[in-house]
Amino acid sequence: MASSLAKPFRRGTSPRVALLPAGGFYALVFALPVVALLVLSFWTANGFKLIPGFTLDNYVKILTSPLYRALMLRTIGVAFATTAIVVPVAFALAYCMRFVFERRGQMILQIILLSLFSGYLVRIYAWRTILGKQGLLNSTLQWLGLIDQPLEFLIYSNTAVVITLSGLLLPLAVLPLYSAMLNVPRDFLEAARDLGAGKAYCLRTVLVPMVMPGLRTAFAFAFLLSAGDFVTPSLVGGTQSLLIGNVIADQFRGIGSNWPLGAAMAFVVVAVMLCSFLAVVALIGRATRW
Amino acid sequence: MTTPEVEITALHKRFSTQTALDRVDLDIAAGEFVSLLGPSGCGKSTLLRIIAGFEQPTSGTVRIHGEDVTGRPPDKRPTNLVFQRGALFPHMSVRENIGYGLKLRRWDQSRMRARIDEMLALVRLDSMGERLPSQLSGGQAQRVALARALACDPRVLLLDEPLSALDLKLREQMQLELRAIQRRLSATFIFVTHDQTEALVMSDRIAIMNGGRIVQQGTPREIYRRPNSVFVSDFIGATNLLSGEVVGMEGGRLILAIGEARITVPADRASYGTGRRFALSVRPETVRLDRAPGAAGLAATVAEIVYLGSSVRVGARLGGGQLIWADLRDEETEGLDIGTLVALSWNEAAAALVEGNER
Amino acid sequence: MVRWNRVLPAGFVTLVVLYLYAPIAVIVIFSFTTSPRLSMPIEGFTLDWYVSALSNPLIATALRNSLVLAATSAVLSGVMGVAFSFGLVAVRRAWLRSTLLAGSLLPAIVPLLVIGIALAVLFRAVGMPQGLLNAAIGHMIVSLPFVVLTMNARLESFDFSTLEAARDLGASAWQAFRDITFPLIRPSVIGAMLLAAALSLDEFVVTWFNIGNQQSVPVLVWGLMRRGVDPSINAIATILLALLVCLVVASNRLGRRNGAS
Whether B100 and B75 map to the same domain: the answer is yes
- Give the distance from residue A178's alpha carbon to the nearest chain C alpha carbon, in angstroms: 13
Whether B126 and B36 map to the same domain: the answer is yes
Of all residues in chain A, the one with the smallest CA distance to C142 is A30
pLDDT reported for residue C92: 83
In a domain, B219, yes or no: yes
Name, in order, each residue with C-beta under 8 angstroms of C179's C-beta and a sequence gap of 6 or more: C166, C171
Whether B256 and B222 map to the same domain: the answer is no
The stretch B235-261 carries a mean pLDDT of 81
The DSSP code for B71 is: T
Q: How many domains does chain C have?
A: 1
> Side-chain half-sphere of B338: how many Cα atoms within 13 Å?
4
The answer to which of A26-35, A87-96, B86-95, C230-239 has the lowest mean pLDDT is: C230-239
Which of A33 and C165 is assigned the larger pLDDT? A33
- Give the distance from residue A113's alpha carbon to the nearest chain B alpha carbon, in angstroms: 30
Q: Which amino acid is present at B99?
A: G
Long-range residue pairs from C8-16, CB within 8 A, at least 24 positions apart, any chain: C9/A96, C9/A100, C9/A101, C12/A92, C12/A93, C12/A96, C13/A93, C13/A96, C13/A97, C13/A101, C13/A108, C16/A89, C16/A93, C16/A112, C16/A170
- Give the distance from residue C123's alpha carbon to the nearest chain A alpha carbon, in angstroms: 9
In a domain, C39, yes or no: no
pLDDT reported for residue C81: 94
**B337 pLDDT band (50/70/90 cuts)?**
confident
Whether B256 and B279 map to the same domain: the answer is yes
pLDDT reported for residue C67: 93
Whether B106 and B118 map to the same domain: the answer is yes
Q: A2–C91: do the CB atoms touch at under 8 Å?
A: yes
Phi/psi of residue B247, each to 5°?
-115, -5
Interface test with chain A among B98, B100, B112, by most A beta carbons within 10 Å: B100
Whether B85 and B227 map to the same domain: the answer is yes
Distance CA B301, CA B7 (A): 52
Q: A127–C221: do the CB atoms touch at under 8 Å?
A: no
Distance CA B80, CA B155 (A): 8
* At least 3 CB pairs under 8 A between chains C and B: no
Distance CA B263, CA A178 (A): 66
Contact A227, A269 (CB under 8 A): yes
Contact B358, B230 (CB under 8 A): yes
Pairing state between β B156-160 and B188-193 = parallel
Distance CA B75, CA A183 (A): 24
In a domain, B137, yes or no: yes
The answer to which of A127-136, B82-91, B224-233 has the lowest mean pLDDT is: A127-136
In a domain, C14, yes or no: no
Q: B54–A191: do the CB atoms touch at under 8 Å?
A: no
The answer on pLDDT for A170 being more than 80 is yes
Please tell me if residue A204 touches chain B, with a CB cutoff of 8 Å. no
The stretch B267-287 carries a mean pLDDT of 76
Distance CA B321, CA B301 (A): 10
Pairing state between β B79-82 and B253-258 = unpaired
pLDDT reported for residue C229: 67
**B291 pLDDT band (50/70/90 cuts)?**
confident
Distance CA C41, CA C45 (A): 12
B147-to-B74, B114, B150, B178, B240 alpha-carbon distances in Å? 18, 13, 5, 11, 41
Whether B220 and B240 map to the same domain: the answer is no
Which residues does chain B have within 8 Å of residue A194's beta carbon, measured at their own beta carbons? 52-54, 74-75, 79-81, 149
Whether B150 and B229 map to the same domain: the answer is yes
Cis, peptide link before residue B90, omega less than 30° from 0: no
Chains in contact with A via at least 3 Cβ–Cβ pairs below 8 Å: B, C
In a domain, B359, yes or no: no
pLDDT reported for residue B64: 93
pLDDT reported for residue C226: 81
In a domain, C161, yes or no: yes
Q: Which CATH number fits the domain A56-288, given the four candidates 1.10.3720.10, 3.30.420.10, 2.70.98.30, 3.40.1260.10? A: 1.10.3720.10
In a domain, B107, yes or no: yes
Q: How many domains does chain B have?
A: 2
Chains in contact with C via at least 3 Cβ–Cβ pairs below 8 Å: A
> Side-chain half-sphere of C60: how many Cα atoms within 13 Å?
4
Name, in order, each residue with C-beta under 8 angstroms of C246's C-beta and a sequence gap of 6 or more: none
Q: Which helix (H) or strand (E) holds A106?
A: helix A105-114
The stretch A245-254 carries a mean pLDDT of 86
Look up the CATH number of the domain holding residue B116.
3.40.50.300
Paired strand residues for B323 = B317
Q: B104–A190: do the CB atoms touch at under 8 Å?
A: no
Q: B104–A197: do the CB atoms touch at under 8 Å?
A: yes
Q: Per this entry, what is the length of chain B?
A: 359
Q: Could you read off the pLDDT of B177-190 as tens digits, one per residue?
A: 999 999 999 999 99
Name, in order, each residue with C-beta under 8 angstroms of A77's C-beta and a sequence gap of 6 or more: A158
In a domain, C249, yes or no: yes
Distance CA A257, CA B26 (A): 82
Parse chain A into domains and list their residue ranges. 56-288
**Mean pLDDT score of chain B:** 88
pLDDT reported for residue C93: 87
Contact B79, B157 (CB under 8 A): yes
In a domain, C103, yes or no: yes
Cβ neighbour number for residue A239 with a 10 Å cutoff: 6
Complete DSSP assignment for B239-299: -EEEEEEEEEEETTEEEEEETTEEEEEE---TT--TT-EEEEEE-GGGEEEE-STT-SSEE
Which residues does chain C have within 8 Å of residue A120's beta carbon, measured at their own beta carbons? 202, 204, 218
User: 172-191 in A: which are within 8 Å (CB) of B?
Assistant: 185, 187-188, 190-191
- Give the distance from residue C51's alpha carbon to the nearest chain A alpha carbon, in angstroms: 19
Q: Which helix (H) or strand (E) holds B214?
A: strand B213-218
The answer on pLDDT for B70 being more than 60 is yes
pLDDT reported for residue B115: 94
Name, in order, each residue with C-beta under 8 angstroms of B299's C-beta and a sequence gap of 6 or more: B261, B318, B319, B341, B342, B343, B344
Which residues does chain B have within 8 Å of residue A204's beta carbon, measured at their own beta carbons? none
Distance CA B97, CA B99 (A): 5
Distance CA A153, CA A140 (A): 16
pLDDT reported for residue C55: 82
Look up the CATH number of the domain holding residue B329.
2.40.50.140
CB-closest option in C17, C84, C124 to A19 = C84
The answer on pLDDT for A289 being more than 80 is no
The answer on pLDDT for A10 being more than 60 is no
pLDDT reported for residue C80: 95
Q: C106–A16: do the CB atoms touch at under 8 Å?
A: no
Q: C121–A26: do the CB atoms touch at under 8 Å?
A: no
Q: Which helix (H) or strand (E) holds A264?
A: helix A259-287
Look up the CATH number of the domain holding residue C233.
1.10.3720.10
Supply the Cα-derived Rg of chain A in whole angstroms. 24
Supply the Cα-derived Rg of chain B in whole angstroms. 25
> Side-chain half-sphere of B285: how many Cα atoms within 13 Å?
6
The answer on pLDDT for B358 being more than 60 is no
Please tell me if residue A102 touches chain B, with a CB cutoff of 8 Å. no
Contact B312, B330 (CB under 8 A): yes
Distance CA A67, CA A88 (A): 32
Q: A263–C117: do the CB atoms touch at under 8 Å?
A: yes
Query: Of the ranges A90-94, A113-117, B242-246, which is most confident?
Result: A90-94
Whether B221 and B123 map to the same domain: the answer is yes
Whether B225 and B238 map to the same domain: the answer is no
- Give the distance from residue C137's alpha carbon to the nearest chain A alpha carbon, in angstroms: 8
Q: C118–A36: do the CB atoms touch at under 8 Å?
A: yes
Q: A132–C38: do the CB atoms touch at under 8 Å?
A: yes
Which residues does chain C have within 8 Å of residue A228's beta carbon, measured at their own beta carbons? 111-114
In a domain, C167, yes or no: yes
Complete DSSP assignment for B144-185: HHHHHHHHT--SEEEEESTTTTS-HHHHHHHHHHHHHHHHHH
Contact C109, A221 (CB under 8 A): yes
**Mean pLDDT score of chain A:** 86
pLDDT reported for residue A25: 94
Paired strand residues for B312 = B307, B328
Domain around C173: 48-260
Percentage of the residues of chain A whose pLDDT score is greater than 90: 30
The stretch B217-222 carries a mean pLDDT of 93
pLDDT reported for residue B256: 81
The answer to which of B26-40, B297-311, C137-151 has the lowest mean pLDDT is: B297-311
Whether B114 and B153 map to the same domain: the answer is yes
Q: Could you read off the pLDDT of A122-149 as tens digits, one per residue?
A: 889 888 888 887 777 888 888 888 888 8
Q: Which of A212, A209, A215, A221 has the alpha carbon at shortest distance from A168?
A: A221
**B18 pLDDT band (50/70/90 cuts)?**
confident
pLDDT tens series, chain C, 261 aa: 456 678 889 999 999 999 999 888 888 888 887 776 666 666 677 788 888 888 888 888 999 999 999 999 999 999 999 999 989 988 888 899 999 999 999 898 888 999 999 999 999 989 999 999 999 999 999 999 999 988 988 888 887 777 777 777 777 777 778 877 888 888 889 888 988 998 999 899 999 999 988 999 999 989 888 877 677 888 888 888 888 888 878 777 776 655 443
Which of C230 and B140 is assigned the larger pLDDT? B140
- Give the distance from residue C213's alpha carbon to the nearest chain A alpha carbon, in angstroms: 12
The answer to which of A34-43, B105-114, C131-140, C171-180 has the lowest mean pLDDT is: C171-180
Distance CA A221, CA A113 (A): 14
Q: Which amino acid is present at A259?
A: W
User: How large is the ipTM?
Assistant: 0.85
Domain around B336: 234-354
- Give the distance from residue A99's alpha carbon to the nearest chain B alpha carbon, in angstroms: 13
Q: Per this entry, what is the length of chain A?
A: 290
pLDDT reported for residue C115: 94
- Give the distance from residue A114's alpha carbon to the nearest chain C alpha carbon, in angstroms: 7
The answer on pLDDT for A9 being more than 60 is no
